């Protein structure tokens, strides 16, 4: 691949910024230290989170690619930047839950920690002002956010990722409780986009059930970046 130069800022989200590049098919994705929860209501800068998540995401995306899940990830550029394919994003979040935690506990009045067998799936509409409301596949089709085929593929791929990552985390002594994925299209193909990092999943220690993910930030448990690094170390990410 030719040498790609960083271009102008395209958009800045809660934790990452996207920059144009000299190749029209690619973006620079910059992982910042900014950390947010509750749809941006709680915010803090946590030193080292950007570089930790950049490397974490690269490892997971590489792993998924090798196992046959196509992603937007191309390569690491620097400590806090990655090169990614320019996707047309679907404004929908795909969540799989293996264990009840977070919003499902509130919504359905169930206790945290219950096994969900089979794992369950939820779609959310990506809109902070509306607090990412839960939607179903009919909403997605009626509002034209994605086609029927894309809806089917998002579900299939999100469950495929669950089979792969549940095992990866289990072998490293952790439980993958739940996670969120986002997809987009590139030349007509549906690719996994955005990120897979401890910001967008729940991970517990298998023995102690200690929370190691962004719930440490949401619930003021402390050692947020340190815990992300513990997950990374257990997975063999240097
Ligand atoms: P929830 O329990 O808040 O619905 O979240 C389920 C999982 O998905 C959890 O690991 C956090 C992740 N998630 C995000 O990272 N961003 C989001 O906007 C949503 C709705 C979920
Ligand atoms: N919705 C996500 C969370 O609650 C991200 C955010 O609000 O910034 O963690």
Please indicate whether residue 156, judged by its CB atom, sits closer than 6 Å to ligand 2.
Answer: no
Task: State the pLDDT confidence band at 144, using cuts at 50, 70 and 90.
Answer: very high
Evaluate if residue 140 carries a pLDDT over 90. yes
Q: 124 is written with which tokens?
A: 């959310």
- Residue whose tokens read 């690094």: 229
Task: State the pLDDT confidence band at 138, using cuts at 50, 70 and 90.
Answer: very high
Return the SS3 of 44. Answer: strand
> Could you give the CA distance from residue 10 to residue 91 in angstroms, rounded to a whole number?
17
User: Within 10 A of 102 (CB to CB), how many other CB atoms are there?
Assistant: 16
Please give the backbone phi and psi of residue 159, each rounded to the nearest 5 degrees, phi first. -70, -35
Probe ligand 1: pick from 13, 102, 129, 166, max atoms within 8 Å of CB? 102
Q: 208 is written with which tokens?
A: 């102690």
Ligand 2 atom with the smallest distance to the CA of 218 is 9
CA torsion 224-42-199-201 (nearest 10°) is 110
Sign of CA dihedral 128, 131, 137, 139: negative
Q: Supply the pLDDT for residue 75.
A: 98
Evaluate if residue 2 carries a pLDDT over 90. no
Q: 207 is written with which tokens?
A: 């023995």
Return the SS3 of 229. Answer: helix
C-alpha closest to that of 15 among 194, 185, 181:
194
Q: Which helix (H) or strand (E) holds 123?
A: strand 115-125
Please indicate whether residue 81, judged by its CB atom, sits closer than 6 Å to ligand 1.
Answer: no
Tell me the percentage of the chain whose pLDDT exceeds 90.
Answer: 97
Q: Supply the pLDDT for residue 238.
A: 83
pTM passes above 0.85: yes
For the domain made up of 6-85, give the CATH fold. Phosphorylase Kinase; domain 1 (3.30.200)
Q: Supply the pLDDT for residue 1.
A: 80
For the stretch 53-63, what's the b/e string if a residue is b when 16 or more beta carbons lie within 10 angstroms of its beta carbon?
bbbbbbbbbeb
- How much distance in Å is there from the Cα of 210 to the middle of ligand 1? 18
pLDDT digits (tens, 9 = 90+) for 182-228: 999 999 999 999 999 999 999 999 999 999 999 999 999 999 999 99
Higher pLDDT, 117 or 39: 117
pLDDT digits (tens, 9 = 90+) for 5-44: 999 999 999 999 999 999 999 999 999 999 999 988 999 9
- Annotated domain spans of the chain: 6-85, 89-223
Which is the CATH superfamily of the domain at 89-223?
Answer: ATP-grasp fold, B domain (3.30.470.20)
What number is the average pLDDT over the span 53-71? 98
């Amino acid at each position: 691949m030719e040498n790609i130069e960083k271009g102008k800022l395209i958009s800045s989200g809660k934790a990452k910024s996207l920059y144009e590049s000299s190749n029209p098919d690619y973006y620079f994705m910059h992982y910042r230290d900014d950390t947010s929860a509750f749809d941006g209501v709680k915010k803090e800068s946590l030193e080292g989170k950007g570089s930790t998540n950049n490397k974490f995401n690269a490892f997971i995306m590489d792993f998924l690619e090798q196992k046959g899940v196509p992603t937007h990830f191309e390569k690491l550029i620097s400590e806090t930047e990655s090169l990614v394919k320019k996707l047309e994003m679907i404004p929908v979040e795909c969540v799989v839950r293996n264990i009840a935690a977070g919003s499902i506990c509130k919504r359905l009045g169930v206790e945290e920690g219950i096994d969900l067998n089979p794992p369950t799936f939820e779609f959310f509409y990506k809109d902070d002002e509306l607090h990412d409301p839960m939607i179903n596949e009919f909403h997605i089709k009626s509002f034209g956010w994605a086609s029927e085929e894309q809806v089917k593929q998002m579900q299939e791929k999100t469950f495929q990722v669950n089979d792969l990552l549940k095992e990866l985390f289990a072998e490293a002594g952790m439980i993958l409780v739940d996670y969120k994925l986002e997809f987009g299209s590139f030349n007509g193909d549906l690719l996994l986009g955005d990120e897979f990092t401890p910001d967008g999943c729940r991970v517990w220690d298998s023995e102690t059930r200690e929370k190691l993910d962004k719930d440490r930030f949401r619930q003021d448990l402390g050692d947020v970046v340190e815990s992300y690094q513990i997950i990374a170390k257990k997975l063999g990410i240097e």
